[in-house]
Chain A
Amino acid sequence: MTTVLFYIFALLVACSAIGVAVSRNIVRTAVCLFFTLTGVAGLYFLLNAEFLAAVQLVVYAGGTLILIVFGVMLTNRLPSAGWDVKPWEKTVALGIGAVLASALVASILSLPPRAQPDESGAYPVLELGAALLGDYLLPFELVSVVLLVVMIGAAYLAKGRRRNREAQP
């Protein structure tokens, strides 16, 4: 069962990731990305990380992606004609990808195999919470500072944005 589910999710993730890479339409790219993120969430379920899967769905698929889609929609009036990428650039990109993929896969396969973990254990959500508010309280607090600063920065850039258009060089 797990195996089947893994291959379903893996196929979903891989195919939609490739879709993200090759799709020329930005909306289609966004949809592909959504499927990728959902698939990754599925993988998290398989990896005994249910909480993370939920976060993935809520924050990533639900939040980040919506943000991206907003961005797409705000800027989508643009003509996408003439945005073609030169063939040699595609070749270089695929070359880099191929070399990196083979190098990585080769080295991953040389990693010694690890024992299957005991699947019987309950999901350690209590431990996760304790760790987050215990050992990892400091980064937890720090990330709130990051978010505060980021929020202010993003809001600054986004607000009153059409001011002084004509004053530009």
Chain B
Amino acid sequence: MPLPATLLLIATLLPLASFVTLVFAGKRIGTPLAGVVATGAIGGSFAASIGALISWLSAADPVPWGAAREPILLLYKWVPIGQVGSNSTGWLDLGIYIDSLTLAMFTMVTMVALLVHVFSIGYMRGDKRFPRFFTYLGLFGFSMLGLVISATVLQLFIFWELVGVCSYLLIGFWYEKKSASNAAIKAFIANRVGDVGFLIGFGILFYHLGNVTLPNLWATLGSAGTLASGEAIGNFGYTLLTVMGIGLFFGAIGKSAQFPLHVWLPDAMEGPTPVSALIHAATMVAAGVYLCGRIFPILTPDAKLFIAVIGVTTLTMAALIAIVQSDIKKVLAYSTISQLGYMILAMGVGSWVGGLFHLITHAFFKALLFLGSGSVIHAAHHEQELTQYGGLARKIPVTAITFLIGVLAIAGTPLLAGYYSKDMILAHAAALGYLAEGQGRGGLWWAFFVLPVIVAYITAFYMMRCWMLTFWGKPRNREVYEHAHEYPVMYIPLIVLAVLSIIGGSYLGVSDLLQYTQQESNAIVRTIGGDAAGDVFASAWPVRSHNVMPPHEELDVAPAAEISLAGHVLEAGEHLMHRWVGWAFAIGIGLAVVIYWNGLTIAQRLTALPPLNWIHTWLYNKMYFDELYNSVFVGGVRGLSIVLGAFDRKVVDGLVNGAAALTRGLAVISGAWDKYVIDGMVNGAAAVARGIGSLLRIPQAGRIRLYVTMLFASVTAAVAVVVLVVLMRS
């Protein structure tokens, strides 16, 4: 096994080992030590990931793999299932797929997870279920890393669900709080809705292709990106491909909290703050983007259009809501949704590198912001309302400074991480606008550029608002202010993340790594599909034909002979983007500083004005999405949530004791089965089965002579029948 594969496998299994250890011995290991065990495991993972990254980057002949060379694909024949689908090997394969993206994700996930673990040792110290918290974190680490290393779509799905389970467990970690268990249910339902779509897409895929590996998938369907309506690849018609792509994307909608399934993420902030940082900001919610990245080559232009629309809707909506939120974690939650919208938009407009680049930079600064907010909340004795803060910079200076760096990074301040990735996405969006206009498709297509640009200004504004209200000005709640303090074990991760937020964009070579990924993917696709296979990352959208040239006078730069059309349009897009976005951070931040210099006074006066107060109320109530869903799905959701509520109470209560937490869930199902099916429906199938069962127990009366009689009776009957049949025939 190649060295990086070995190392990454170790990195994946270490958190599992930690999980198993803590499941069985968590209570015995005890409060600080359980955290140390888990931290050690994830630290080992991080070290292994770094080792793998180094060996990957320094790989040279004779090995075929390495950065910008070829990916590693190791397959293991798992369950023999015979021929299913056209691409089948007769097995349900499992495998490891490693390319530069895998390594980037591994390093990012393990690094953030390690820092969150360290932070949690401090943050969760007082909690009575401290070991259990780290147990779940171990399971989460395993699931997330397993997701990233998966080589087949089936595997992706398995780990996808596991990650969802962890999220559910961690959101409801403080299940005594009604709001926490409700939030867990909400996340559960929203993710199930998304998974239904995923399953439909996966079903189509599986039916036609069997359990394919990712490179096989790309090699088979990789030309979907430039497919014109009406064309087909093999058995896949254009419509089927589009439906499949959108179906798979639905999974991402659920997990990455995109419109209209975004409602669970803000509520998920009921979980412990380190969880919010790790799972609901940096890693798991990004899994949807990762999935989009992996299925990108099989997305048809129309599927991409759908994705882009979802992305742009999400990022705008979430940013607007974020402006008025008063809970520090809610602000961050909506900012997360908005940033995820950017990433999804990037996938939609064909900026593969931009989307994943933003995923990684965002992980750094969003983890920083969340851990910073955790430090604030911890300092403020679990007070989360911005209105109760103010002036905390003097009490917790390290947090304040690192938080500010995070704000600057997300606002797109030049030279910080967010600047590079966001710009890359916006440049592609602008290029798209040019292309669409060149085809005479009208100005509406510019929305994909204009709205994100406006939101870039808004982002800078609301993030700075959050910082100003927390750290600047006079303390609005003296009691909170007096007791605030910070610990080294908590602010050291903040410092590390702050450094990463500064250098993550330009100096770590993340975007180079992603460029390599494209080369590697194309290399393996050529190995499988022959040299005819083109660039699977080529995206024709919205230009269904490569030959349509946008009018030159529309572009701000003269066409250079040596660069391709796409590169040419992209360059134009970059220019346009720089013209409009360049100073967004300064304007947004400046406005926030001005308005919130003296706390809430100006803002309160502003929101009292007639049109603004209505908007404020509307936004403050999150555009009434919850109410909308409640009234639309009132019957269904209520009923479901009552059932799930009962489920949840029992499950979560059950979690208190016992190692096998999950099994309780099934026990409850069995209990419900017993209660509702057996007792409730006397005439139900189970009752019939039981009736037959008791009939069958009549011969088992305990009498040996009866047994022997039945034995000989059946033997005799059999002999008699055969003899009769044979003798009659002859």
Contacts and interface: CB of A to CB of B under 8 A. Distances in A.
B63 interface: no
A106 B723 contact: yes
Nearest to B721: A103
A93 B726 CA distance: 25
A151 interface: no
Contacts of B727: 106-107, 110
A104 B719 contact: yes
A144 to B, nearest CB: 31
B631 interface: no
Contacts of A104: 719, 723
Contacts of A92: 709, 713
A89 B726 CA distance: 30
Interface in B657-675: none
A33 B720 CA distance: 28
Contacts, number: 31
Nearest to B720: A103
Interface residues of A, number: 11
A100 B727 CA distance: 15
Interface string B702-730: 00010001001101110110011011001
B716 A103 contact: yes
A93 B708 CA distance: 10
A122 interface: no
A4 interface: no
B694 to A, nearest CB: 23
A96 interface: yes
B720 A100 contact: yes
Contact of B709 (A93, A99, A110): A93
Contacts of B717: 99
A120 B730 CA distance: 38
Nearest to B706: A89
B721 to A, nearest CB: 9
B730 to A, nearest CB: 8
A106 B726 CA distance: 11
A21 to B, nearest CB: 13
B716 A107 contact: no
Contact of A96 (B705, B716, B724, B730): B716
A92 B716 CA distance: 12
A88 to B, nearest CB: 11
A89 B709 CA distance: 9
B723 A96 contact: no
Contacts of B705: 89
Contacts of B730: 110
Interface in B444-485: none
B719 A103 contact: yes
A91 to B, nearest CB: 11
A100 B709 contact: no
A100 B714 CA distance: 11
A103 B713 contact: no
A72 B515 CA distance: 93
Contacts of A110: 727, 730
A103 B724 CA distance: 8
Nearest to A100: B716
Interface string A45-85: 00000000000000000000000000000000000000000
Contact of A107 (B709, B712, B723): B723
Nearest to B713: A96
B254 to A, nearest CB: 59
Nearest to B726: A107
A96 B711 CA distance: 11
Contact of B723 (A89, A93, A103): A103
A100 B161 CA distance: 61
A150 B249 CA distance: 69
A66 to B, nearest CB: 25
A169 B341 CA distance: 73
Interface in A85-140: 89, 92-93, 96, 99-100, 103-104, 106-107, 110
B610 to A, nearest CB: 88
A100 B713 CA distance: 9
A116 B651 CA distance: 81
A98 to B, nearest CB: 9
A107 B717 CA distance: 15
A93 B713 CA distance: 9
Interface in B630-650: none
Contacts of B723: 103-104, 106-107
A106 to B, nearest CB: 6
A18 to B, nearest CB: 17
Nearest to A110: B727
A110 B713 CA distance: 24
A96 B719 contact: no
Nearest to A98: B716
B531 to A, nearest CB: 66
A52 B715 CA distance: 30
B715 to A, nearest CB: 8
Contacts of A107: 723, 726-727
Interface string B276-308: 000000000000000000000000000000000
B713 to A, nearest CB: 6
Nearest to B727: A106
Interface of A: 89, 92-93, 96, 99-100, 103-104, 106-107, 110
Interface of B: 705, 709, 712-713, 715-717, 719-720, 723-724, 726-727, 730
8 contacts: A89-B709, A99-B717, A100-B715, A103-B724, A106-B723, A106-B727, A107-B723, A110-B727
* 4 A-B pairs with least C-beta separation: A103-B723, A100-B716, A103-B720, A96-B716
Given A89-B709, A99-B720, A100-B712, 19 more contacts: A89-B705, A92-B709, A92-B713, A93-B709, A96-B713, A96-B716, A99-B716, A99-B717, A100-B716, A100-B719, A100-B720, A103-B716, A103-B720, A103-B723, A104-B723, A106-B723, A107-B726, A107-B727, A110-B730
